Amino acid sequence: MSNYFLHESSYVDEGAIIGNGSKIWHFSHIMGDTKIGEKCIFGQNVNIASGVIIGNNVKVQNNVSIYTGTIIEDDVFLGPSCVLTNVTNPRSQINRHSLYEKTIIKRGATIGANATIVCGIILGRYCFIGAGTVVIKNVPDYALVLGNPGKQKGWMSRHGHILGNPDADGIMICPESKFKYKEIEPGILRCLDLDEEASLPPELKEGKIFYDEFKK
């Protein structure tokens, strides 16, 4: 039996699987047949529907509903009141319970507050969806997407910094981690210093400088 924290105001239905060290806070509901990994955090008023799969170390802020058909990989961040969906053309009169569309949120992705993710798409590894953005198509790894409809405006490092213009060798450097990034082919960015599936070194897992300091 796993060891996780459940606030007394929240409910976990029979059949849900929740990993060790996860925390479920106030007024949340985890439905049955849901699989949640280790060390996840779910804020206030979170609903997770049946059949959802969530990896390890996922952080879900207040007022987020995750619907059937959603797969969330490790290290994903879902900002307050962001919106996920599972039917492109919903009608109250039409039962489409057997037609829920799959949305995949890949490892390390961030979805900002109040962003909306239209279902049936893939958000790439370490992509960054800005607050209030409406995403209607697949997003590449490390892409920064802003606006309505969402459009790629640049690249984000694994530490959440906009990558500046490349040097003569096509290299972009994260100002915090100093990791190097490069487009290995048009539209495909990779980190040259750490594999996308590898964990961050312990010394790079704690932020120590405010974001505004990197703008100076």
Domains of the chain: 67-163 (2.160.10.10)
Given this model, what pLDDT does residue 26 score?
97
Residue 150 phi/psi, 5-degree rounding, is -65, 135
**Sign of the C-alpha dihedral computed for residues 6, 61, 204 and 191 taken in this order:** positive
Per cent of the chain over pLDDT 70 is: 100
Given this model, what pLDDT does residue 2 score?
72
Given this model, what pLDDT does residue 67 score?
97
- Those residues of the chain that have pLDDT short of 70 are 1
- Strands laid side by side in the 47-48 sheet: 11-12, 29-30, 47-48, 65-66
Calculate the CA 202 to chain-centre distance: 21
Bridge partner list, 111: 78, 129
